[in-house]
Amino acid sequence: MEFSSLLVPGLLAVTAVYALGRKVDVYGALTAGAGEGLRITVRILPALVGLLAAVYMFRASGAMDWFARLLSPALNALGIPPETAALMLVRPVSGSGALAVGSDLIKTCGPDSYLGRVAAVMLGSTETTFYTIAVYFGAAGITRTRYTVPAALTADLAGFAAAAFSVRLFFGS
C-alpha cells in the first residue's frame, strides 16, 4: 500500500470527522467551497481558450521546437528537460498561461511520463512571481523593490531545476 493511495480517502475522512467534532456543518461547508471551485474553473476558462489556441499554434508551427533547441544547452546543464522551456518562460508571468502550456505537456506526454510529471511538479511548486510582486508592492505603495525580482526569479529557477531533480529521485526517468 502506498502513501499516496491513502491520502485522498484519509484526508476526506479525517477532515470530516474533525470538523464534525467541532460542530461545523461539514456538508454545507463542502458545497459552499465546491461552488467557489466552480467559480475558479469558470474564471480560468476564457484565458485557457485564448492561451491554448496560441500554444497549439506555436507548437504546430515548429516554433516551440526551435526555442527548446535554442535553450537546451543551458537547460541540460541544470538537468532540466528542454521540452519544458516554454512552461518556464510563461510561469512567472501568467498563471493561466502556465496552466495552458503545462497541461498541454501533461496531455501530450502522458500524466505518468517523466516529462508529464516534471511539468506537473513545476506548476505545483512555483507561483506567478510578477503578479504577486505587483500586487504586494502596489498595495503597500512600494516603488523601489530593490532585489526582490532577482531573488524571486532565483526561487523560480531553483524550483524548476528541483522539479526535474525530484521527479528523477522519486520516480526515476
Binding to other proteins in span 111-130, by CB under 8 A:
111-112, 116-117, 120-127, 129-130
- Applying CB under 8 A, the site for other proteins has a residue count of 103
Range 129-168, binding other proteins (CB under 8 A): 129-130, 132-133, 135-137, 139-148, 150-152, 154-159, 162-163, 165-167
Work out whether 173 is an interface residue with other proteins (CB under 8 A).
no
Q: Using CB under 8 A, pick the residue from 11, 70, 74, 78 that binds other proteins.
A: 11
Work out whether 1 is an interface residue with other proteins (CB under 8 A).
no
In angstroms, rounded to a whole number, what is the distance separating the alpha carbons of residues 49 and 79? Answer: 32
Work out whether 10 is an interface residue with other proteins (CB under 8 A).
no
Q: Considering the complex, what minimum distance in angstroms separates the CB of residue 64 from other proteins?
A: 9
Give yes or no for a contact between 118 and 75, defined as CB atoms under 8 angstroms apart.
no
In angstroms, rounded to a whole number, what is the distance separating the alpha carbons of residues 22 and 7? Answer: 22
In angstroms, rounded to a whole number, what is the distance separating the alpha carbons of residues 118 and 25? Answer: 38
Q: Using CB under 8 A, pick the residue from 75, 85, 106, 115 that binds other proteins.
A: 106
Q: Using CB under 8 A, pick the residue from 68, 71, 72, 94 that binds other proteins.
A: 94
- Residues 6 or more apart whose CB falls under 8 angstroms from that of 106 comprise 116, 119, 120
Choose one: 68-76, 77-85, 104-112; the region binding other proteins (CB under 8 A): 104-112
Q: Using CB under 8 A, pick the residue from 75, 85, 99, 115 that binds other proteins.
A: 99
Half-sphere exposure of 76 (CA within 13 A, CB side): 6
Work out whether 70 is an interface residue with other proteins (CB under 8 A).
no
Residue 96's closest CA among 59, 47, 54, 133?
Answer: 47
| Residue 26: C-alpha distances to residues 3, 6, 19, 31, 83 (Å) | 25, 21, 6, 9, 43
